[in-house]
Amino acid sequence: MAIADFIDHTNLKPTATIADIQKLCEEAKTYGFYAVCVSGCHVPIAKKALKNGPVKVAAVIGFPLGAMSTKAKVFEAMDCIENGSDEVDMVINIGWLKSEMYDAVRDEIKAIKQAIGDKILKVIIETCYLTEAEKEKACVLAVEAHADFVKTSTGFGSGGATFEDVKLMKRAAGDKAKIKASGGVKDKETAQKYIELGVSRIGTSSGPNLIK
């Protein structure tokens, strides 16, 4: 597989304009990226721009803090799917995880997965704020809740993906969930290293630079 097949071409900037999202979609089509990753309000624009093509639309929910109510996250996820999103990237409730409210974290992920049915769910654990034990526990909870992916980062925290975190997540999730590395992946060599480590998806706003 080519690097393009792994890329979720991303623009989650609060300043992203309609023109920016349309440009993102055009680049995704040009380079053959797997998906675009956008904020919920941009899902209809992205869906229209990518109509009848192979590029998927992924939407973020509970983004970037993960601290919304479960009910709000479930509604947001369903709204994104109804508007044409193929995939959902959710942020876990980091405070709950750190409070050892494991049932609440698991139940929230499970509720979102059930709400979106057979659509892909990626669970962002925001590794930069977690201890090694918390990263491992977050992956286990995501697997128990039947998430499709565990994802390193929002790109809005104090740090992004690292090779060490991906190795840990791979060990914790085993073959029960795929891994998405996101945050700070800006060159081809880094992307290739993540692919060698076993990630199935890379979230980056630098997609065209990775291909050129």
Active-site residues, by number, are 89, 151, 180
Do 121 and 149 form a contact (C-beta atoms < 8 A)?
A: yes
Cα–Cα distance, 194 to 64 (Å, whole number): 23
Q: 198: phi > 0 → left, psi -120 to 50 → alpha, else beta; which?
A: left
Collapse the DSSP code of 39 into the 3-class scheme (helix H, G, I; strand E, B; otherwise coil) and give the result. Answer: strand
66-87 burial string, b = 16+ CB within 10 Å, else e?
bebebeebbebbbebbebbbbb
Cα–Cα distance, 103 to 125 (Å, whole number): 16
